[in-house]
Structure 1
Amino acid sequence: MQNRLNKLRDALANIGADALITERDVNRRYLSGFTGSTGWVIVTEKDAFLVTDFRYIDQAQEQCPDFTVVNNQRKAVEAIAQVLKQAGVKRLAFESSLSYGSYAEWSQAFDGVELVPTSGVLEKLRMYKEASEVEIVRKAVKIADDAFQHILGYIKPGVSESDIALELEFFMRRQGASGIGFDIIVASGPRGALPHGRASEKLIQAGELVTLDFGAQFQGYNSDITRTVAVGEPSAKMKEIYDIVLKAQIAGVNALRPGITGKEADAVTRDIITAAGYGDAYGHSAGHGLGMDVHELPNLSTVSPFVLEPGMLVTMEPGIYVSGLGGVRIEDDVLITEEGHEVLTQSTKELLILPV
């Protein structure tokens, strides 16, 4: 954790603050290792504090050896104010996610402290994954890959989308996942035209494509995989759409390397889909960063300014969605390396036609 704290201190010097406070769960855990549900991390030029309540004191002391743990005695704002006073903090950076109510309360309670709004300070640090983080993500990806292989034998006509989603979650939890990274998407037939078509009570029908978008959460990190399969023989049109998306997705993955921008990576996939006549049916970004949040920096989009660098972890997930007909999306998790990239997801991307 000391390496992360030192990087944050360098960032604070650049924005002219002498401390930062965060209560956002993923940022709190990233800096301290604390997994409790309530707490405030305060990092100064020399010290690091975790303010929490009685329920978590023993846990915090065990999980956060680099931090001074403070029991807030059910008076959190007063406890934070006392820490700031003792540490001599004059300019306190806070995250833009802070509610206005908390900002107003802090303005009154933190005497002599200037509150400095910031955005993305920790999120930009989290873009660069340490080796230990990558290994955790590998395990989360392996759980998702195994879940995809498992669910292939479960998908058949007459089974509901919601039952498929439930089986996916059960399987991933049995493999060690602490939960799902997001609401599982199971979108079959015409519902495949919904990019975020969460699993419904719709029953799978023969001849339909089924898009599965899901991820495992493991030790605070997430995987995110999308595959589209056919239940019985699909129509020629849907096969055509699948082939276009697969071509774009493979080209997008192959383009990922240090030095390419998120905008350029997005354009690789978008140019292929547009040339095939489906540009208007591809309305979302090509991908996004992945880690403690399912969607984090850097993003791969038409306006992304980010230049990819080694240690970044992104998804590549182009898609085509035709209202009333259906859709296709294919997604991999990809690590940017010194040599280029490494695809972490291993599930096949060829169109699987499941028996009916």
Structure 2
Amino acid sequence: AVEAILFLDMINIRYLTGFAGSEGALLIGQEEATLLIDGRYATQARQEAHGVKVFEYQDRIDGIVAVILEDGSKTVGFEAQAISYDTYTRLKNRLKGTKLRPVSDEISTIRAIKGEREIAAIRKAAEISSGALTSVYDFIRPGVRERDLAVDLEFKMRHNGAEGVSFATIVASGTNSALPHAAPSSRKIEDGDVVVIDCGAVYGGYHSDETCTFAVGQANDRQKEVYRLVKEAHDRARDTVRAGVPCSVVDRAARTCIEDRGLGAYFPHGTGHGVGLAIHEAPRIAAKSKGALEAGMVVTIEPGVYIPDIWGIRIEDTVLVKEDGCEVLTKIVKDFIILT
């Protein structure tokens, strides 16, 4: 057991306090919670943070030490993944009478279940992203560079109200589409290409995530066949989603579908992940995932098949877990669209 918890992950700090700055710390102590910031964020912290005392420091380590000593806790938990070895060592050397204990496992899912306000923000982010993607369909044509299409799509998301993009937009055409996380390049789209576009918007701090795969000009029989397979895997996994279902079972629904057609080796990643204030957060939907889905979680369903040096196909939706199923928050229907 711990008497206090030190948070250094700024996403968790935003979740717990409302403070959206880029540096600080939070101690949830025995009697009160204290948000630690430097002078750059003094006004912002007092405007945004709620339910906490604001402590302004000149030096971050000095500030953390002072607040912990004032709190009087003898055992303080901390987020292991959010602290450097240097910071940990300096705190340990200064807090001789205090035991520091990692508690990452215990707090890794604190953001997993979303409230009504959070769901509304994700729904709006998905609406912005889907709308922006459909608005650039005419730009997905031979001769257009992947990089230019990505820039146009990101501009449309911001123009439509996004605070930013969830991640660097993926536009991958031809053989590049066989790379699950390809970066947009100077390659020009060609007739007959498969084009994978993976994008998301940020609204109110919350992210969306959606992937569509298109064919440009024409699609051959093999492309149509694999698209139908990935769509079937996506639909099976989506239809498995409901409260109480183990995350590994959702992954298995998609993976078995692809493995049964002999393409399991070309599906190298998990079926999905949680989405919220971070683009990747709990829960993880993969073969070795522990735990089960709960109502209020928001997760992606994103199976894919990637044939090296040829092309790849991925289909992704963001869904809200409910007691009796799920609601698809992303807006684009996942039929195979051939853009001519």
Q: TM-score range by the shorter chain?
A: over 0.9
Distance 1:89 1:216 in 2: 41
1:263 is matched with: 248
Percent of matched pairs sharing the same residue = 37
Contact 2:30 2:73 in 1 (8 A): no
Alignment partner, residue 78 of structure 2: 94
Of residues 317, 331, 335, the one that matches 2:316 is 331
Do the aligned residues in 2 keep the contact of 1:299 with 1:306 (CA within 8 Å)?
no
Counterparts of 1:200 and 1:162, CA distance in 2 = 5
d(CA) in 2 for partners of 1:152, 1:196: 21
Q: 1:157 & 1:207 partners in 2: Cα distance?
A: 9
Residues 153-211 of structure 1: CA deviation (Å, up to 9, x unaligned): 21110000001110111011111111111111111111111111111111000011100
Equivalent residue number for residue 5 of structure 1? none
Equivalent residue of 2:102, what SS?
Answer: strand
In structure 1, distance between residues paired with 2:128 and 2:107: 27
- How much does 1:232 deviate? 0.7
> Which residue of structure 2 aligns with residue 217 of structure 1?
202
TM-score under structure 2 length normalisation: 0.97
Counting matched residue pairs gives 339
Which of 61, 66, 77 is the aligned partner of 1:82?
66
Which of 40, 44, 52 pairs up with 1:55?
Answer: 40
Shift of 1:314: 0.6
Of the candidates 98, 121, 124, which is equivalent to residue 113 of structure 1?
98
Matches within 5 A, 1:14-29: 16-29=1-14
- State the partner residue of 2:233: 248
Contact 2:275 2:300 (8 Å CA) reproduced? yes
Equivalent residue runs for 1:30-41 within 5 Å? 30-41=15-26
Equivalent position of 2:56 in the other structure:
71
Could you say what secondary structure the match of 2:108 adopts? helix
Question: For structure 1, which segment, 204-213 or 335-344, has the greater mean C-alpha deviation from structure 2 after superposition?
Answer: 335-344
Q: Does 1:43 pair with 2:12?
A: no
Separation of aligned partners in 2, 1:197 and 1:219: 27
1:281 aligns to 2:266 (yes or no) = yes
Output the CA distance in 2 between the equivalents of 1:222 and 1:19.
30
Question: Taking structure 1 as the reference length, what is the TM-score of the superposition?
Answer: 0.93
RMSD between superposed Cα atoms in Å: 1.1
> Is the 2:317–2:330 Cα contact (8 Å) retained in structure 1?
yes
Question: Shift of residue 256 of structure 1?
Answer: 0.5
Structure 2 unmatched ranges of 5 or more:
none
Q: Where in structure 1 do 4 or more consecutive aligned residues deviate above 2 Å?
A: 120-123
* 1:127-166 to 2 correspondences below 5 Å: 127-166=112-151
Residues 127-157 of structure 1, C-alpha deviations (whole Å, 9 max, x = no match): 1111111111111111111012112121110
